A and B are shown apart, each in its own frame.
Chain A
Amino acid sequence: MQATLSMALTNSHEQTETQADEARQLGFWFYLMSDGVIFALLFATYAAMSHSFAGGPSGKELFDIRYTLAETALLLTSSLTCGLATLAALQQRRNQAVVWLLMTLVLGLSFVALELSEFGDMIGQGAGPERSGYLSAFFTLVGTHGLHVSLGMVWLLVMVAQLLRKGTRFQVLSRLQRWALFWHFLDIVWVGIFSVVYLPGVLP
């Protein structure tokens, strides 16, 4: 990734820029790792609470695996369009990059909309976060991920605006790569969520 970006630059001033970019990339990676720790502890909390139903409903009664399948497909496809957006931007194809970004936005919005309707259904059945320790842990873990996706879409819109106003200059490409890291990272967390929460949750 960095190698590709640095290939676009040749003179020494720009090489200094490249080094600063590598430092930012690594710093952002540190942030992602610490965010990973937050999610891991939410997973641990969920595991610890996985039988604390307090007489309330369990995942088996609440989860509709079709929702999960659709959410997984949306987020995975958005990871692909996100990657294609960064590639198009690196190739200086600004408009193409913007189109891929907007497709990512549509997929992300659909994901959050599905998740909210799922949460709404559960709360409507009296299975909100206050019902049991299990549901508190569920809403905290899945909700934190949904919040990250929502903030990722705000960042995405900022990147679209910067691409349109400033074009594919080096700093914009550098920020776009960090946004892409963030977006791919959220897809990895989602793999954990459907593997730890939803799939085991619907088993008999």
Chain B
Amino acid sequence: MSEITQHQSSSVRSYLVGFGLALLLTAIPFVVVLFTSLTKPLTLSVIAVAAVIQILVHLRYFLHLNFSPSNRWFLVTIAFTTVILVIMVGGSIWIIIDLNRHMMPMP
């Protein structure tokens, strides 16, 4: 019983740590967009990096995904899905941008 209690008090801590990190990683891009005047590419990079780290924080602290053996299939499927996503999203955007360029009206 003491083991369970200990495990769960650490879980409360895990949720609070995750919540704190997520708050911070949300505040950073909002502050950058609202109160600073960085160049657009730099601002977009900050937004992208904060988003990727925040998603990893959610997976780690809220969905309890880690590298323990019992999580192997969860990790395999999320890795596979990520590959599919990169191909489909990246490929679609690439094709559409290319198409847009070729469909430009002639001067």
Contact = CB atoms under 8 A, between A and B. Distances in A.
Given A188-B55, A199-B29, A44 B92 contact: yes
Given A4-B11, A76-B26, A80-B19, A37 B33 contact: no
Contacts of B55: 188, 191-192
Contacts of A115: none
Contact of B15 (A36, A45, A84): A84
Given A8-B4, A26-B74, A181-B63, A43 B89 contact: yes
B93 A44 contact: yes
B12 A84 contact: yes
A149 B73 CA distance: 26
A40 B89 contact: yes
Query: Counting chain B CB atoms within 10 Å of each CB, which of A29, A65, A191, A194 scores highest?
Result: A191
Contact of B51 (A84, A87, A192): A192
Contact of A41 (B23, B63, B78, B92): B92
- Which of under 10, 10 to 19, 20 to 34, or 35 or more describes the interface residues of B? 35 or more
A195 B15 CA distance: 22
Contacts of B26: 72, 76, 191, 194
Nearest to A7: B4
A interface SS class: helix
Contacts of A40: 85, 88-89
- Which of under 10, 10 to 19, 20 to 34, or 35 or more describes the interface residues of A? 35 or more
B93 A200 contact: no
Interface of B: 3-5, 7-8, 11-12, 15-16, 18-19, 22-23, 26, 29-30, 33-34, 40, 43-44, 47-48, 50-51, 54-55, 58-59, 62-64, 70, 73-74, 77-78, 80-81, 84-85, 88-89, 92-93, 96
Interface of A: 1-4, 7-8, 26, 29-30, 33, 36-37, 40-41, 43-45, 47-48, 65, 69, 72, 76-77, 79-80, 83-84, 87, 90-91, 181, 184-185, 187-188, 191-192, 194-196, 199-200, 202-204
Top 6 nearest A-B pairs (CB, nearest first) are A195-B51, A48-B96, A83-B15, A44-B92, A33-B81, A184-B62
